[in-house]
Structure 1
Amino acid sequence: MNRLFRTVSTRYHRSSVLFKLLIVNMIFIILLTTLLGFNYSYLKTNVKEQVLRTNEGFLKQLSGDLSGEWLEIRNMIYNFSVSLDTKLLSNNPKNSRSYYPTLMAYKNKITQSNLQLPFRAQISTYFPNQDLVISSDGTRSLSVFYKNLDVKNGGETCRCLLQDELEHLYNFRNTIVFSYRLFPEGYIFVQIAKAELLAYLNNQTMLLDNVIVISDRENQLFVSTATLDPAIAEQRLPEFKGPLIINGNKYTPISQTDPLFTYTVLFSESQMQEKLKKANGYTFVLFALFFAVNLGFLFVNWSMFRPLRLMARTFNQWTTGPATKNEFAILSDTFKELNSATVSMKQEITEQADILEHNALLRLSTDENYTMKPHINRMLSVKYDSYAILTVIEESSQGQSVTLYAPLLEAALSQSRPYIRLHAHSDKSIFITSCSDTNALEALVSRVFDSCPDPVDNMLVFCGISSIHTRLEDIGKALRESTDAIDKHVPNLTHLKSVILYQDRNSDQAAVIHLSIDKEQELVNYTLKGNTETLQQFFDKTIQKTFKNLTFEQFRNMLRYLHDLLLVIMNSKKISVEEVWDVPPAFSHTYHLQYLFRQIQEGYFLVAKRSALPITPLLEQINQYIDKHYANPDLSLTLIADHLAITHVYLSTYFKKHSGYNLNYYMHLVRIQAAIRLIQSHPNMTMKDIAEQVGYSNAGTFIRHFKKISGTTPTQHVRLQQE
């Protein structure tokens, strides 16, 4: 071996200068190729593993959150099933004096429970012995409940909710219904609008460009944030091998299953991976360019062997000698290319390091137990030894997300301190920046906001700034603080551009604010009566007074409450959402309070105007319905209200005002008048038969009401007729 090495070394020293240059260049090219290949393989594997771990952590958190929400719904149903109020109402006869107060208290309890449920779920209770489905917006028969469910699901018909299982989950076009059986009889239904669940899932996918699919254990598709091909939807995604093609993009599925659902996340190559591929592509282009330049250099000097040998002899003698113009030009161009390639490679390496840091911070913001790579942790700890999170919300006067001030703020941050923009695909712009004084950071943001006048009238610009943190593991907490800074501050509706510092004392404020029962009924009456002037005064005085000193979060929840109340009124008047708004208010992603308030107020005025239009008088509809159905023993105030799609309180008040009669008294009056006609036309009929034909299941009740209305008993009336 030693002899072989000496032989090769001797031949190398005896070879020409050109041959030596060729050998050195080939060795350099081989080493560079190996280094670039190792760099490409390492970065590709490392980023791919980090993206996979990020998505697995995202799926674990998402499935855990959704499982917790489902558990909360099931616990609420169980509490209802064993509550004393449910037992008392189920066993309370409808004709007892305490029935209606008990029913009203039960409906109020349902309303309070609905406010606590996720996804704006709605609870309804069905008692077969009363044939009533009790909800927060009224009571109705099971058949009417089914019809309303059909309308919500675009005509999809179902009469299948009364099953023998203890609990069952139903998947409709627009609604998910969870049924729980009561003992000894009855059911509790929970309706969840798929639109609300989709809004929650879409909000979760803002951080990562993913598709979320929820299906049951039999692979029946419930919800997907993207439109799936039917052939894909019918397959079991957890068992699917290889990537899926959706809208021309490749997605890889990962799944997790709980007792109710299977959660599947389809993740694609993110922009970070695309940028990494692009960076490595530039690296290989530069390598190819360098290789071509070296080959050209060797080829040119091959034809100029004598000048090259003279130049080598000059260098060996350590004397400076003139070189040819052609050689110096080639050397100069070669070094320029090398310098350019070095600068480009440094830029690409810097970009790749930024990608890894960005990916690590994203993962850490969703999973505080995530352990970063040591070298990434060191780099981030040096940059962000103390930091704060900025959340910027920008919306036009129509509540649409815009991005005008975020680029200006990003430019200002780049000139003063290290920062990273965490994600840019949501309706918010979120930055992490090095910071030791939040007041100085607030002043910087204010200068940026004041430096540019609003390009759009009534544009909303909020910037929430978290407190200062020193541990990178607290980035999730800092992110929540920057959002809480906006949610917990008291907004000034005349000043739509604000910079808000996080204040810990605001964290425990109540989030849900609503009108009193009297004010709510007052608002409903003004709207249903079509009195727009009184309605305007109500909004100018009561509503403005209620909104005073509310936090941003409380303000939005109050507007959501008024919106839900308006939907109930619209449903009672058979007015669709499309008739009121071209674009309905979107509370899931709109923060412009002026726009939301204006939309809701205009909705109330439009419904009030519709209520004032001349239509078939309600009194006539009530009389016609009673005349047609008085023989029905179950005819009641609630049944008539459900048929007319109005509340029973409004029905009773309206009938008393326009007819002068109590509605229950009028129903008995119609029945007794019908009984008198039967007695006159069929004098041989028994009192029991007459009572049954006019809607009384009990002859004693019939005789009592007959005497109360006519002044005589039925027998006395027959005797008077015969005389």
Structure 2
Amino acid sequence: MSFNYLSFTFFQNNIRNEIISYNAQNIRFTSERYEEHFQLVQKQMYALYFNDDVDRLQKASGNARYALLDRVKQEIIKVVGNPLIYVDNAIIVFKEGSLTLSRIGTNDRASLFEKFYASTDYPDSFWQKQFNETYSAKMFPMSKFYEHSFHKAGDVTTKGLFIPYVLKHWQNEDFYIVAMMDANQLFEAFHRSVNANFIILDKQGLPLFSTGGLAKREELPELPVDKTYLLRDNTYYFYQTGQNSGYTYINIIPSASISKQISKLNLTLFVLLILSLIVSVVISVLFSVRFNRPVKQLVSSLQTAGGEDVRFKSNIREFKLIGQKLDDMLQTNARIQSDLAQKNIQLLSYSYLNKLKKIYSGSPGAIDMISTQAYRFVVYEITYKDRFWEEMKEEPGPLTYSIYTFINHSLLKVFPASLTIQIESRQMLSVINEIDDSRLDAYMTELLKVVAHDADFYFLTIAISPAFPQSFDFTEAYEQTVKLLQERKLNEDTQIVRQHAGRQSVHLLTSAQEQQFDCNLAAGNTQELLHLLDRQLALMERKCETVLQYQEFLIDIVQKVRKAFHVLRLDERAIQPVIAGLSTSQSFYSGRHYRKFFSQLLVAACEEIRSNQKNEDPVIDFVVDYVNKHFAQDITLDIVAEHLHITGGYLSTYFKEKTGENFIDYINGVRIRVAQQMLLETDLRIQDVASSSGYQNINSFNRMFKKFTGMPPREFRREKRTEDEVS
């Protein structure tokens, strides 16, 4: 009782100091978390800033630019998709063309900042002005951002309360990146005080964030640099300056609030004192009167039972119950130990995932669990065959988990220190710290035998990395191993890939084949297009090309179709459902999948092209018909315009507007296509082919033929006949 009384007196005298210390620790913790997070966002944005695709994007054009825009967009989505970074969007603002690129796609800068991320504090002129500023990284005060409907009378949607963080570099002033940090999410994640009055000031003392709206600096007292709190006008100001940013973090707590806390704690301590006195007296009496001898008996029983069964004979009902409960506790403890071991494995798995994705988990101890020895990665990718989807009535999740469980348990028998985790829906990763090629080869041989039993339903692609030294970057090593998956051959067998094939060239269409493809696509000739692609796929199958090369070929054909639609001014909605299937192309494992995709794409594209051609235009129809009939004769703009009773200038402008092609280019295109056909189907001399296709000068014919096909007529005839013989 004396101890309880002394404790009460001590805590009563020191409770105000403890509350002040508690609030000082809170603001210190909050400032540290904000500082760490600002550094994390800065690293993520600079990683995006110096991304190779972003650098190449400024110089690219045409199909290459479309592909780069899409890849950079996916990288932005991956960065801001991390829920722990609290960034709503990362926006790349280019100086040239007022273009922006973000997770919602490409937009004009004015459109983005006046419709999708509109703010009265940050109009479009503000973002234009940032190109002339000399800082490398700067955070601006929070502001409420809105999204305006495309309709004038549409609703205005609140996007959120964001803190714009602008980053750029003096080496490249052609663009900068804006990270829209969610102010409310940051506050909820890092602020620990029960009082919600919180302010962040920048180095100049201007407010960046405030829970009650941006306050004016004049409303705050001067904060001494040698203290951590200030009492002024019955209000406590707890503050801390960030070591990296120089920002000042302030918690504002009224003195009345602290006094109220003190009163509550005093009452609580007093009640606890009274209760402790009562409990002490009661327990003392019970133990002295009834529990002395039974306790000795219980201790003796525990010592002789070895922890297996503590129950013993006793006339005291309470001790029978204690014996039963202790036995249950021992069994529960065993289950807890087993569960704890399993959770330790899960914690290690999460630590690896965090390290792979460079996510700060707030627990350095977890990262320390990862071995610092040399290591190698093994990535397994499961591909389910058509028969699985036809016969199985459930999703592949349970089967994937069974495969993962088998690999994990079997690999632990060979490499006890290894760890296997599932990183994607169809991908698993094994981390092996013991570098022993002979044991790994033996394990892979046994694994292939097991997988062969279910070869009708799925196959594995196994990428085995070389041994990486401990100093090698963890994420880079993982990315190198994942790239090996693209080196598998296109077939239905389980394959093990250990190194890159080293092939630089991709078997895309030749210049002559591209010309043939473009001509047939413009004419809507589905069968000719499919025949051309079928021959190219057959050639790739004979040469055992890799999945990566098939994917590049697939993307190239899609880009050609989209480019043709752009030139012909056609709506891509006709082919959009097919193009959306590109997301599943990674699961293609045979030529028939690519043939099916090309068939769906080209049938839809040619139907749209032919449908567009049915929209008759008397002027264009006459020009096309006249050129097709008189291509071998001298054709000029004025001759055709005279037949139509219009001027040559008007016909030139009209033809360009309707077809997207110059009149003279169209004539040359028709003549070169006729010349190609004669070169392939006849044995006429080159001079005769030139004359028959409308060119009286052999030099003009050779120059124009090379412009359209990329090679002289003689070489075109020889190469095409060689390809036909190979096919």
TM-score (norm 1): 0.51
- Residues 203 and 315 (structure 1), Cα distance of their counterparts in 2 relative to 1, 3 Å cut: closer
Letter of the 1:537 partner, please give it. Answer: H
Q: 1:199 to 1:619 in 2, by over 3 A?
A: farther
Instruction: Quote the residue 2:321 is aligned against.
Output: 330
1:423-480 Cα distance to aligned partner (Å, 9 max, x none): 646774444355634424534553554354655xxx6753433233352744324312
Distance change >3 Å, CA 398–CA 299, structure 1 → 2? farther
Match of 2:577 among 575, 582, 599: 582
Find the residue that maps to 1:76 and give its secondary structure: coil
CA shift digits 1:596-649 (9 cap, x unpaired): 54222332234345555672567851547964795364865x973453145875
Identity of paired residues, percent?
10
Shift of 1:269: 9.6
Structure 2: distance between partners of 1:420 and 1:482: 16
| 1:208 Cα offset (Å) | 6.4
Residue 483 to residue 65, structure 1, CA distance change in 2 (3 Å): same
Query: What is the SS of the residue equivalent to 2:577?
Result: coil
Pick from 371, 383, 386 the counterpart of residue 381 of structure 1.
371
CA contact (8 A) 1:198 1:223 kept: yes
Q: Which residue among 382, 385, 390 is the counterpart of 2:379?
A: 390
Distance change in 2, residues 1:197/1:314 (3 Å) = closer
Deviation at 1:564, TM superposition (A): 0.9
* 2:520 equivalent in structure 1: 526
For 2:356, the equivalent position in structure 1 comes to 365
Q: Of 534, 538, 560, which residue of structure 1 is paired with 2:555?
A: 560
* Rounded Cα–Cα distance in structure 2 between residues aligned with 1:298 and 1:434: 60
Please point out which of 287, 290, 294 is paired with 1:307: 290
What does residue 467 of structure 1 align with?
A: 466
> Residue type of the partner of 1:331?
I
The equivalent of 1:213 in structure 2 is 89
- 1:554 Cα deviation after fit: 1.6
State the shift of 1:561 in Å.
0.6
Distance 1:489 1:477, change over 3 A: same
Q: SS at the partner of 1:213?
A: strand
Distance 1:510 1:362, change over 3 A: same
CA–CA distance in structure 2, aligned partners of residues 333 and 550 of structure 1: 69
- Deviation of the 1:54 alpha carbon: 8.6
Q: Residues 354 and 575 of structure 1: is their aligned pair in 2 closer, same or farther, counting only changes over 3 Å? A: same
- 1:500 Cα deviation from its structure 2 partner: 2.5
| Counterpart in the other structure of 2:605 | 607
Q: Secondary structure at the match of 2:370?
A: helix
2:709 corresponding residue in structure 1 = none
| Separation (CA, whole Å) in 2 of partners of 1:345 and 1:606 | 60
2:77 to 202, 211, 225: 202
Distance of 2:549 and 2:609 partners within structure 1: 30
Contact 1:467–1:478 (Cα < 8 Å) also in 2: no
Distance (whole Å) between structure 1 residues aligned to residue 695 and residue 651 of structure 2: 10
Mapped partners of 1:215, 1:489: distance in 2: 36
Within-5 A mapping of 1:137-156: none
Name the stretch that deviates more: 236-245 or 401-410. Answer: 236-245
The CA deviation at 1:413 is 3.3
Taking the aligned partners of 1:333 and 1:243, their CA distance within structure 2 comes to 62
**1:253–1:203 distance in 2 versus 1, CA, 3 Å:** same
**Quick one: distance in 2 between partners of 1:231 and 1:567?**
27
CA deviation vs aligned residue, 1:245-274 (integer Å, no higher than 9, x gap): 99999999794511533342769999xx9x
Specify the alignment match of 2:495 in structure 1.
Answer: 499
Instruction: State the SS of the aligned residue for 1:332.
Output: helix
Partner of 2:226: none
Give the SS at the match of 2:586: coil
1:540 to 534, 537, 550: 534
CA 629–446 in structure 1, closer or farther in 2 if over 3 Å, else same: farther
Using a 3 Å threshold, how does the CA distance of structure 1 residues 220 and 563 change in structure 2: closer, same or farther? closer
Taking a change above 3 Å as real, the CA distance of residues 238 and 640 of structure 1, as seen in their structure-2 partners, is: same
> Structure 1: how far apart are the matches of 2:431 and 2:346?
14
Q: Flag the 1:263–1:461 CA change in 2: closer, same or farther, 3 A.
A: farther
User: Which of 391, 394, 412 is equivalent to 2:406?
Assistant: 412
Q: Does the Cα contact within 8 Å between 2:507 and 2:549 map onto a contact in 1?
A: yes
Query: Does the C-alpha gap of structure 1 residues 310 and 332 become closer, same or farther in structure 2, counting only changes over 3 Å?
Result: closer
Q: Distance in 1 between matches of 2:144 and 2:378?
A: 36
**Deviation at residue 565 of structure 1 after TM alignment:** 1.0
Structure 2 counterpart of 1:631: 647
Cα pair distance change 1:616/1:410, threshold 3 Å: closer
Following superposition of structure 1 onto structure 2, how do residues 269-288 of structure 1 map, counting pairs within 5 Å?
none
Aligned to 1:517: 511
Deviation at 1:537, TM superposition (A): 2.9
Letter in 2 for 1:591: Q
Q: Deviations over 1:357-411 (max 9, x none)?
A: 445434543569x9998865663228x7644231425467699996465412320
How far, CA to CA, are the matches of 1:444 and 1:336 in structure 2?
Answer: 44
Q: 1:620 to 1:74 in 2, by over 3 A?
A: closer
CA distance in 2, matches of 1:563, 1:618: 29
Helix, strand or coil for the counterpart of 1:471?
coil
Q: Contact between 2:116 and 2:146, CA under 8 Å: does it hold in 1?
A: no
Structure 2 distance, partners of 1:442, 1:415, is 14
Q: Secondary structure at the match of 1:591?
A: helix
Shift of 1:222: 5.2
SS at structure 1 position matched to 2:496: strand
Question: For the residues of structure 2 that align with 1:624 and 1:634, how far apart are their CA atoms?
Answer: 13
Cα distance change, pair 373–586 in 1 and its aligned pair in 2 (3 A): same
TM-score normalized by the length of structure 2:
0.51
Distance in 1 of aligned mates of 2:473 and 2:140: 37
Displacement of 1:518 in angstroms is 0.6
Q: Distance in 2 between matches of 1:206 and 1:328?
A: 57
Give aligned pairs, total: 489
Structure 1 residues 55-70: aligned runs within 5 Å: 56-57=39-40, 60-69=43-52
Change (3 A) 1:633 1:244: closer
Equivalent of residue 446 in structure 1, options 445, 448, 459: 448
Structure 1 unaligned residues grouped into runs of 5+:
9-40, 78-109, 122-191, 274-294, 666-723
Cα deviation digits, residues 669-690 of structure 1 (max 9, x gap): xxxxxxxxxxxxxxxxxxxxxx
Provide the rounded CA distance (Å) in 1 between the counterparts of 2:422 and 2:615: 56
Of structures 1 and 2, the one scoring higher in RCO (CA 8 A, sep 6+) is: 1
Matched, 1:120 2:67: yes
Q: Secondary structure at the match of 1:603?
A: helix
Q: After the TM superposition, which residues 149-228 of structure 1 pair with which residues of structure 2 at under 5 Å, given as runs?
A: 192=69, 197-204=72-79, 213-215=89-91, 223-224=102-103
Question: How far apart, in 2, do the equivalents of 1:325 and 1:229 lie?
Answer: 81
* Change in CA separation of 1:225 and 1:73 when aligned onto 2, cut-off 3 Å: same
The equivalent of 2:204 in structure 1 is none
For the aligned residue pairs, the C-alpha RMSD in angstroms reads 6.2
What residue in structure 2 maps to residue 25 of structure 1? none
